[in-house]
A and B are shown apart, each in its own frame.
Chain A
Amino acid sequence: MPVTRRETLVSGSAALLALGFPGDLVAQEITAEEAIAAFAQGAQITPGGVILTLDAVAEDGYKVPVEVAAEGARALMIIAPENPVPPVAMVRFGPMAVEQQFSTRIRLARTQEVMALARMPDGTVLSAAQFVDVVVGGCGA
Chain B
Amino acid sequence: MATGVKSRVKLPKVARAGEVITIKTLITHRMESGQRFDEAGQTIPRSIIHRFTCDFDGETVVDATLHPGIATNPFFEFKARVPRSGVFSFAWYDDDGAIYTAQKSIAVT
Contacts and interface: CB of A to CB of B under 8 A. Distances in A.
Contact of A102 (B55, B72, B78, B81): B78
Interface residues of A, number: 37
A96 B80 CA distance: 6
Given A94-B61, A96-B55, A96-B61, A62 B78 contact: no
A15 B46 CA distance: 24
Question: What band does the interface of chain B fall in when counting residues whose beta carbon is under 8 Å from A?
Answer: 20 to 34
26 contacts: A62-B71, A62-B72, A64-B71, A84-B35, A84-B68, A85-B67, A85-B68, A88-B69, A88-B70, A89-B65, A89-B70, A90-B65, A93-B61, A94-B55, A94-B63, A96-B59, A97-B61, A97-B62, A98-B81, A101-B78, A102-B77, A103-B75, A104-B71, A107-B33, A139-B36, A140-B68
A101 B63 CA distance: 13
Contacts of A96: 55-56, 59-61, 80-81
Residue among A67, A86, A94 facing the most chain B CB atoms (10 A cut-off)? A94
